Amino acid sequence: MDWRENTAVVILGMHRSGTSWLTGALQQAGLHLGRHHTWNPYNQKGNRENPDLFELHEEILARSGFAWDSPPPLDGESLWTQGFLSRAERLCAEIGQRSPWGFKDPRTLLLLDGWLQLLSNVRMVGIFRHPLAVAASLESRNLMARDRALELWLAYNLRLIDAHERFGPFPLLSFDWERDRLHEALFQSCRTLGLDDSPHRQDFYAEDLKHNRVVSGHLPAEVEAAYIRLKAWSEGSL
């Protein structure tokens, strides 16, 4: 079967926001990931990222002077060249032989336009996390100042908002939720995505995946507004 006929699931979310947990849980529910990392120093269950896709994203960003922590402007021109699109298409052909298939890399939020040129049968799912929890994680892992981390949170999550407005609605989860609520949202997402929603299949979650809890502190107005909007969507009130 041509990979274009198989359902592709694109997992959207910022670094340190629960994307690894969500991807692992969806994999256990039947999502085919192809070759992927199953362990790394910051996540003992693995970040579930395809190394070839990761390298492609890194090259696309670097070619135009950007990086995961120095993202392009939201309304900027596409960074995809025909050569990059061809490499992405080969990756799709490699991973997409089984349905449903999918991938996760936080950089996808910065480069979603190219993937949507290739994927005709696509579904999306997103996850987000409190800005201060993400900032604490980035400070611990990357020695990033809180103000800079909050700027980065906003850059990524404005793209998540944009994707939800333009291509949604699609399932949107909050990694701040307690385990039971998170699992219930996961089961609902699996049904929406055409995956196995049996509760016994979902055991990827572990409390120790949440290395940093929400801490108190002031949020810049624009960051707070974006977080409130994501929360409202995830709770079904928009």
Closest CA to 111 of 59, 150, 151, 188: 59
Is the CB of residue 171 less than 8 Å from the CB of residue 13?
Answer: no
User: Which residue matches tokens 């400070």?
Assistant: 139
> Can you give the pLDDT at residue 101?
96
> Can you give the pLDDT at residue 231?
97
> Can you give the pLDDT at residue 2?
86
Closest CA to 9 of 170, 233, 223, 136: 170
What residue spans define the domains of the chain? 3-234
Which pLDDT tens digits describe the chain residue by residue (238 residues)? 689 999 999 999 999 999 999 999 999 999 999 875 454 544 445 556 889 999 999 999 999 999 999 999 999 999 999 999 999 999 999 999 998 999 999 999 999 999 999 999 999 999 999 999 999 999 998 899 999 999 999 999 999 999 999 998 999 999 999 999 999 999 999 999 999 877 545 555 555 455 455 566 789 999 999 999 999 999 984 4
Q: Which CATH class is domain 3-234?
A: alpha beta
The residue ranges of DSSP E strands in the chain, in sequence order, are 8-12, 101-104, 122-128, 172-174
> Can you give the pLDDT at residue 203?
56
Kindly report the CA angle at 132 between 212 and 42, in degrees rounded to 5?
35
> Can you give the pLDDT at residue 122?
96
Taking each helix axis from N to C terminus, what angle separates 19-28 and 179-193, rounded to the nearest 10 degrees? 60
What are the residues whose beta carbons fall under 8 Å from the beta carbon of 225, sequence distance 6 or more?
none
> Can you give the pLDDT at residue 48?
64
Residue type at position 70: S
> Can you give the pLDDT at residue 14?
98
Query: What pTM does this model have?
Result: 0.90
What distance in Å separates the CA atoms of residue 134 and residue 73, rounded to the nearest whole number? Answer: 21
**Cα dihedral: 96, 114, 157, 238 (round 10):** -80
> Can you give the pLDDT at residue 87?
98
Closest CA to 72 of 80, 81, 61: 61
